[in-house]
Amino acid sequence: MSERNYKGPKYLTEAHGSIPAFNSYEEEAEFWDTHDFTEFKQETQAAKVKATTGLSANVQVHFEPDTDHELEAIAREQGLKKATLIRTWVLDRLRQERNRHAS
């Protein structure tokens, strides 16, 4: 995929119970302008949340456009932000390296 033809990530959500899938921010905004979350309370379940604090460094990494788009797609598939996906991969690799040096 060339950078010139890339039009940005597509906005597409999945349907959840009686909440429909949306194809744009505008479409979703229109829906929530006329609906209240409490209408769907019976369809929800508690989510486990992990809060992180104390991250001390910010590192900028440059990728070719195709690599960047691929990372975006993988992150989107996993429901993550691209930075979270990359951070997870780096931490996994560091853990592997530690284990390799410990053995």
Q: Which long-range contacts (CB under 8 A, 24 or more apart) does 70-78 make?
A: 72/9, 73/9, 76/9
Q: What integer best gives the mean pLDDT of the chain?
A: 86
The pLDDT assigned to 6 comes to 46
What's the mean pLDDT in 70-74? 95
Banded pLDDT at 37 (limits 50, 70, 90): confident
Q: How many angstroms separate the CA atoms of 11 and 8, rounded?
A: 9
Banded pLDDT at 9 (limits 50, 70, 90): low
Phi-psi region of 79 (alpha: psi -120 to 50; beta: other; left: phi over 0): left
Q: How many angstroms separate the CA atoms of 28 and 101, rounded?
A: 50
What's the mean pLDDT in 58-80? 93
State CA 32 to chain mean position distance: 21
